[in-house]
Amino acid sequence: MSTIDRQTVYDAIVVGAGFGGIGMAITLRRQGIEGVLVLERGDQIGGCWAVNTYPGAACDVPSHLYSYSFAARAGWSRKFAPQTEILAYIQDCAKRFDVERQVRLRQAVVSASFDEAEGLWTIITAQGSVYLTKVFIPATGQLSEPLWPRLEGEPFEGTVMHSAQWDHRLDLQGRRVAVIGTGASAVQFVPRIAEQVSELHVIQRSAPYVIDKPDAEYSGLQRALFAKVPGLLKAHRLALFLQHEARFLAFARPGGLMTLFERKARQKRVKELKADIVGSMTPDYPMGCKRILISNEYYETFNRSNVHLHHGVRVRTHAQGLELLDEHGSRQLEVDTLIFGTGFAATDFLSTIDISGTGGLELKAAWKDSPNAYLGISVTGFPNMFIVYGPNTNLGHNSIISMLEAQFGYIAQAVSHIVEGRAQQLDLKPDVQSTFDNELQARLQKTVWGSGCDSWYKTASGRISTNWYGMVSSYQRLTRHFDLGNYRQS
């Protein structure tokens, strides 16, 4: 049974209460826009940091950079904060900036449709609630839907879980475990569970590049200085930003500066791995083409007698475990637990929501070839819809928070135009989107991400639909001012 209050029309409804959704709500509130509602499908604020609770979960971007610039925190415990601390930070920001009260939890949005006559979006949740809003802001991000690979074979009778849905009730002590996937999550939880399980089999399709993690605890003195010395925290954040921004020069073209990082990665492999698996742990693609991982523990985990690497094998399931197949034949692995560390369906943007715009145009149809949006924010045919962390706004070299904040400012300007009556409907002009997308894709093909490897940055057709083509500063310049001339107004 649905519930609807047709007397309530929100200025903006934000979907998702992670870094993107909470930051967007805070920005709108700071601009004096009060009629904002945040819908979150989970049972707490925090987005991916509320659900990714696997052992060892932590950020791979420095804490002082992976936080809002308007809510700098002097008290981070270490250079790379753990999941629990990041989650607490997001929830504290929601309280401190008084947007917690605007969040409705356990509201999973399943559809959003635009009424051209009324100029309103109708938002429907799986729980049967119906909401009306002038502006629709999806902020579910690129890393919200776990990727479950399809495996051949018979049903596995043991325990199965994904790293993004970790079951902490499961005691791994003494278990025989197989992990499928060697990405950013696996590089964190594999060293942790190796200490508990009796046997750990890691199934690797392709080897990742792993470099040192420059992590350390902040001392009490350092935290005190950040808190009390005027300008120090801001200067430290700026220094981190500029340092990471410069790294894009290595991503801009295959080869070049990236060869220096490749050399360091190779030295790390040789130093930390047993000689007989160095070859299997050596990537066969240009560095940076896939996400570069950081860890001080991952390689050394494979030196344990109970940890086994299986590289480049095809996997079939059977009741008691796995069958591994390669050019040498097949072999059986008896395991009682299967953990997928296969990441997220990053290119399936907004796939869990049925979104329809003008003339009933469905977003899934508009994106049938590949997701794309002007600045990653606006899509032609979907008036008054502005996406946070949309297509081609991800980074490989710097903090995503800087990109999100650029989007917050741009979207807030658009919302102001609509709420203050300067425009009822803003629909992106088709030529603006196509021109932008053509230029963006052409530039991406020149970067390391266009160098030929398969990665979660790409769709099945090979199109790069996740990453931005340049530095954060270039995106900030493009989003600094909302240009009404790029939109059809009514």
Query: If you average pLDDT over residues 347-352, what whole number do you get?
Result: 85
Strand partners of residue 326: 329
pLDDT of residue 261: 93
Strands 487-489 and 426-428: antiparallel
- For 188, the 3-state DSSP assignment is helix
Three-state DSSP string of 88-134:
HHHHHHHHHCCCHHHEECCCCEEEEEEECCCCEEEEEECCCEEEEEE
Q: How far apart are CA 488 and CA 369, in angstroms?
A: 24
Q: Which fold has domain 152-214+243-340?
A: FAD/NAD(P)-binding domain (3.50.50)
| 3-state secondary structure at position 247 | coil
Task: Give pLDDT tens digits for 43-78.
Answer: 999 999 999 999 999 999 999 999 999 999 999 999
For residues 65 and 75, what is the distance between their CA atoms, to the nearest angstrom? 13
- Residue 209 is given by DSSP the state P
**Owner of token pair 């919200």:** 144
Q: Which residue carries 């849905």 as its tokens?
A: 165
Task: Report, in this order, helix, strand and coil percent for the chain, each rounded to 5.
Answer: 30, 25, 45
CA 273 to chain centre: 30
pLDDT tens for 77-128 read 999 999 999 999 999 999 999 999 999 999 999 999 999 999 999 999 999 9
Instruction: Give long-range contacts, CB 8 A cutoff, 24+ apart: 48-53.
Output: 48/18, 48/141, 48/143, 48/144, 48/164, 49/18, 49/19, 49/83, 49/86, 49/87, 49/90, 50/18, 50/87, 51/164, 51/165, 52/83, 52/163, 52/164, 52/166, 52/185, 53/83, 53/166, 53/168
As given in the structure block, the two tokens for residue 338 are 């299967």
pLDDT digits (tens, 9 = 90+) for 401-425: 999 999 999 999 999 999 999 999 9
Name the residue ranges covered by the structural domains of the chain. Answer: 3-145+345-489, 152-214+243-340
Which of 18, 26, 108 has the alpha carbon at shortest distance from 71?
A: 26
Residues 6+ apart with CB under 8 A from 330: 323, 324
pLDDT score at 348: 80
- For residues 424 and 490, the answer to whether their CB atoms sit within 8 Å is yes
- Domains 3-145+345-489 and 152-214+243-340 alike in fold: yes
pLDDT at 6: 56
Angle at 478 between CA 473 and CA 484, to 5 degrees: 160
**Weakest mean pLDDT among 171-180, 188-197, 276-285, 448-457:** 448-457
3-145+345-489, which class in CATH?
alpha beta
